[in-house]
Structure 1
Amino acid sequence: MSGESHGALRSHFEATHLHATDPWSVETSWYEIRKRAVLLAALPRERYGAVLEIGCSTGVLTEELAGRSDRILAVDLAESAVQRARERLAGLAHVRVAQGDVSDGLPAGQWDLVVVSEVAYYLDDDVWRDLIGAIASQLTEGGTVVACHWRHPASDFRQSGYAVHQALTQHPEFTTVVHHEEPDFVLDVVTLTRKATT
């Protein structure tokens, strides 16, 4: 993805979050509420140490993950989303929210759980595949990745939810432990079966 594309995507999400306090109705929509419950129920461990959430938006899912995590870093492309998430999560000392573009690479660290919900289809295929490799290299042995994406097309998607999940589950260092598919969304949980080598 070019620098121009990065900037356009950042502007798009900045405008989306400035236009509405809850752009995708994640706090009120039954689809969103139930989807989060399904995602959390699919996680194979009761608790995780270090968690990275990619594309946290206003921090609704982050808040629910916080009860099952020792520490969380939640990142989003849009500064307005980050500000709203920080306000929501201000009382949780083990949660940090940062503005960042994962197309430029993951934040430094080793992660026990990486969450990618409703975000990877905004990335070009090659960027997503590079990101999968980066996730594998920074995931702890036996660590978990959960991905959940809308199955229908949208004008601002760069690839389909199906393509996103196919790339993730076919990565040679991952084993799929949960696959859940509904008319509206697909969810996969994969674990790292061997550490990435350089």
Structure 2
Amino acid sequence: MSTPIGYFEQMYATSRDPWSFESRWYDARKHALTADVLPRRRYRSGFEPGCSTGMLTSRLAARCDRLLAVDAIEAAVRAAAERVADQPHVTVRAARMPRDWPDDTYDLIVLSELAYYFDDADLAELLDRVAGSLERGGDLVAVHWRHRVAEHARSGDEVHAQLAALLGLHRMARHEETDFLLEVFTSDPRSIAQREGLV
């Protein structure tokens, strides 16, 4: 079973920032690394499912012409929307993944601390949605906590192993630490230097 929605509702009922994203250096650094690892300077259309309070969203917004960020919890959606209210190219709305996955396509999809909450069936659907929504030449960025958590259906390492098995995607970058794994997958096997004609 995927992590029940009630777990997240309870977290946000007791705190506006239940994971302390606004105050922890660990998360500020990880969000900065996630934005900095993006292979392109600019993206036409980005999608961030599970945006929480929008701390990463605000960094991604600076790199996207259009960005959709969603979360299943209304309190998180309100917090994220307030954070990016001065950026009209960002849309924040409520949606439960994977069932409410949008029909649009994207040249950037960011899975940040999300996929380990899903059971086998929901994760398989999520990965199918990613594969169907990522445009040719688009980039998939994934970052996940590596330690075991009772509410997680699997570890971050297991999530990334399944992402690596997606047909048609190549791993462009991998940043591994004791606490988290950050990877970039793309359908364009060329390096950044090759893309810019340096090699």
TM-score, reference length from structure 2: 0.90
Q: 1:171 aligns with which of 166, 170, 191?
A: 166
- Alignment check: 8 A CA contact 1:129 1:167 kept: no
Moved over 2 A (4+): none
Verify: 1:183 aligned to 2:178, yes or no.
yes
Measured against aligned partners, the alpha-carbon deviations of 1:165-196 in whole angstroms (never above 9, x if no partner) come to 000011112110011110000011001259xx
> How large is the Cα RMSD of the aligned pairs?
1.5
Q: Write the mapping of 1:1-198 to structure 2, written as runs, cut at 5 A.
A: 9-193=4-188
State the Cα distance separating 1:91 from its structure 2 match.
1.2
SS at 2:8 equivalent: helix
Indicate the percent of aligned positions where both proteins have the same amino acid.
43
How far off its partner does 1:131 sit? 1.2
Deviations 1:45-75 (A, max 9, x none): 0111110001000111101111111011101
Per the TM alignment, residue 42 of structure 1 is displaced from its structure 2 partner at its CA by 1.0
Count how many residue pairs are aligned between Structure 1 and Structure 2: 189
The TM-score normalised by the length of structure 1 is 0.91
Tell me, yes or no, if the aligned pair for 2:16 and 2:75 is still in contact at 8 Å.
Answer: no
Q: Report if the CA contact (8 A) 2:176-2:182 is conserved.
A: yes
Distance 2:97 2:115 in 1: 10
Q: For each residue in 1:9-41, what CA deviation from the matched residue of structure 2 results, as whole angstroms up to 9, or x when unmatched? A: 222112211211111111111110111111111
| Structure 1: 5+ residue stretches without partners | none
Distance in 2 of aligned mates of 1:52 and 1:192: 17
Q: What is the deviation of 1:105?
A: 4.5
